[in-house]
Amino acid sequence: MEDLFFLDENDRVDGVAKVTGKAKYFAEFQLPGLVYGVLVTSTITKGKITAIDAKAANNAPGVLGILSHLNKPSVPAYEQEGGSPMKIFYTDQVFFNGQPIALVVADTFERATYAASLVKVSYEKASFNTDFEGSIKDPKAKKLQGQAPYKRGLEDAYKTAEVKIEATYTLPVETHNPMELHGIIADWGPNDKVTLYAKTQGVKSTQNTVANTFKIPAENIQVNSEFVGGGFGMALRTWPLEIAAVMASKQLKKPVKLVITRDQMFTMVGNRPASHQKIGLGASKDGKITGITHTAFGQGATYENFTEGVVNMSKFMYASENVNTNYYVVPLDMGVPIWMRGPGEATGAFALESAIDELAHALDMDPLDFRIKNDPETDLAQNRPFSSKYVKEAYRLGAAKIGWSNRKNKPGSLSDGPWQLGYGVSVGVFNASRGRASVKGILKADGTLVLQSATSDIGPGTGTGMTLIASRLMGLPVDKITFELGDSSLPPAPSQGGSATLSTVGSAVNDVCVSLKSTIAELAANSNMPATSNFVEVLKKNNLPMIEVTKQSQGSSEARNYSMYSFSIHFVQVKVHQTTGVVKVSKIVSVGDSGKIVSPKTARSQMIGGAVGGIGMALTEEAILDNRYGRYVNNNFADYHVPVNADVPDIDVIFIDKPDPVINPMGAKGMGEIALIGFSAAVANAVFNATGKRIRSLPITPDKIL
């Protein structure tokens, strides 16, 4: 059996564990005496809880306790006045429909579920507003500034351009739907020692949030999250429901497992906010962009603020002297949003990259030529050079691979039987960064290396990437290296988010390996061994079972002189059925300009996953809210459509694979976000090329085409 799982440079270090079921996800841990929590959620959208009748639930078999604001267990941070986040079970206020208002704990999940169904809640309803598009139309609508307005050159310069377009683009609420549901197992033991099995993108962040909320030392809290079944941004914060499970464990003195249901995934753990964006673009007749105006509105919540980078890309992606942007948040009576893969940038890219295509069409130019003509050499928003950027090369490589020369600039020119055929392109971009992380390395006389860091792996292959970095530096085969993560007791690292883990943690792995090698070289010299001696001989000669080093890596000051971004170019071919309006993405070529590729297999998988998410964003995903009731009507997988295998063609991935000279020793930039950013615009642009219909509102469903 073992031989079947031969591990080489092209495998995931945790692949075997994942495909054999050996990998344990948070909900699979069976602690002695484990009990189960099930949430009761509000059935009104706004107002006050006037009574909770829990008599029948309390008397139901197996019930151990019911938590609500009526018996709020002590949570020191919640007892302070004001502040965010929402204080679960500390208020009778209802802020959104589906808000957790009570937690029923029983000895089995089934009994907890049944008892939760017996809890009767009375409310005093208040009028509410969940209507995003309606709120934007109302000039009196309360709007928060999401980001300070930006301007370079003249405001609204597009208005006086020789050729101009002005258009509005809308995106619905999208819900993160990783296979693994959200939740936590909380075990509050004696002496305020707490063990958590969490679904989190940051074990240190979960540890700190729980420590700050319950005012206990962070060292008292052990967070375990070795395997995460998909995060996509949703697990970048500790949600109130997780605090509820910790409360329950503290009160009942038992480990409590709380896993929310699929429909609860739509309301209480964030979403990609709906957005409404207006873009004005102008160019000279020969195709030079002279003005970009981007105004965006994003959906928000009344009880907590959330902002993201919707208009970021418009500031620097094209060489326009005049750019101005605005971004507002519209607070509604809905659950607070959170980042969702590519986050605001993916939202902004749909609008900007659709608009660029519209302007190219108005100029009667090939949209690829138009982009290349307006590709800037430097970052005009921050007035400094890019650390590395191979966008023009990426355009050419992708165009050759998809067969861009087959495209006709006149829409509706190509067909294949009953299908109209078209091509589209879009660029994606996301900040490339390097934060601060610590890694410990233990080099052992048995010939193995153990690396440890409290980072996460939500799927991209962190362990694999780190192992490959170390393998190359140490000249050690990958099966001699173990990378331990997902454990808050390991050296601290940031949450896995914003495409920064490989850069941040990888830099510390680099520094650990460099240090271990120099220690071995010193030991060899001191014991008169040849410099080429391997570390096992050197450690044995020195009677050392192992050597250890911990390194903290952080961004270089040189980096401040550069703009660091990763870029992607997505090319798609679509087929649009002439009678049914069904859109099929028939070819995909995604080109990544993200520096040196450390781990080819997992990097390619990131791009494939991004494209699949992009198909969903472009064609099917839409959480539909009934504004009369403030409730989602398609909060399940039967009605909220994500792409399945049959929706996804073979995906070609090309990497520029040239090291970035500034960002880190590997020359590697992030790529989790760019895999998705821009993709939906490439699809919309291809649909236009196929049919002549410009769909400015995602998802592109058949009814919008016919």
Binding stretches for ligand MOS (CB under 6 A): 201, 231-233, 236, 339-341, 343, 497-498
Q: How far apart are CA 229 and CA 234, in angstroms?
A: 12
Q: CA distances (Å), 481 to each of 417, 448, 450, 685, in order? A: 54, 6, 6, 46
Cβ-based nearer residue to ligand MOS, 313 or 574: 313
Cβ-based nearer residue to ligand MOS, 200 or 267: 200
Residue 334 structure tokens = 């809905």
Write out the E strands in 357-511. 378-379, 384-385, 414-416, 419-431, 437-444, 449-452, 481-484
Residue 96 structure tokens = 């959104």
Cβ-based nearer residue to ligand MOS, 208 or 550: 208
Q: How far is the CB of 569 from ligand MOS (least distance, A)?
A: 20
Cβ-based nearer residue to ligand MOS, 341 or 389: 341
In terms of phi and psi (left: phi > 0; alpha: psi -120 to 50; beta: otherwise), the region of 200 is beta
Element housing 370 (H / E): helix 367-373
Residue 24: count other Cβ atoms within 10 Å of its Cβ. 14
- Partner residues linked to 430 by β-bridges: 566
Annotated catalytic residues are 673
Q: How far apart are CA 239 and CA 264, in angstroms?
A: 12
DSSP 3-state of 406: helix
Cβ-based nearer residue to ligand MOS, 174 or 358: 174
Cβ-based nearer residue to ligand MOS, 339 or 571: 339
Amino acid at 610: G
Owner of token pair 């000039």: 139
> Burial of 433 by CB count in 10 Å (0-12 exposed, 13-18 middle, 19+ buried)?
buried
Residue 91 structure tokens = 């208020």
Residue 626 structure tokens = 């009934």
Cβ-based nearer residue to ligand MOS, 314 or 499: 499
DSSP, res 74: -
Cβ-based nearer residue to ligand MOS, 231 or 337: 231
Residue 280: count other Cβ atoms within 10 Å of its Cβ. 21
Dihedral Cα 405, 409, 413, 415, nearest 10 deg: 50
Q: How far is the CB of 454 from ligand MOS (least distance, A)?
A: 17
Cβ-based nearer residue to ligand MOS, 598 or 675: 675
Q: CA distances (Å), 149 to each of 186, 295, 322, in order? A: 43, 9, 14
Cβ-based nearer residue to ligand MOS, 46 or 272: 272
Element housing 652 (H / E): strand 651-655
Residue 93: count other Cβ atoms within 10 Å of its Cβ. 17
Nearest to 65 by CA among 100, 105, 31, 19: 105
Element housing 207 (H / E): helix 203-214
Residue 582 structure tokens = 């069904």
C-alpha radius of gyration, the chain, whole number: 27
End-to-end CA distance of the chain: 54
Nearest to 617 by CA among 706, 497, 499, 700: 700
Residue 3: count other Cβ atoms within 10 Å of its Cβ. 5
Residue 136: count other Cβ atoms within 10 Å of its Cβ. 19
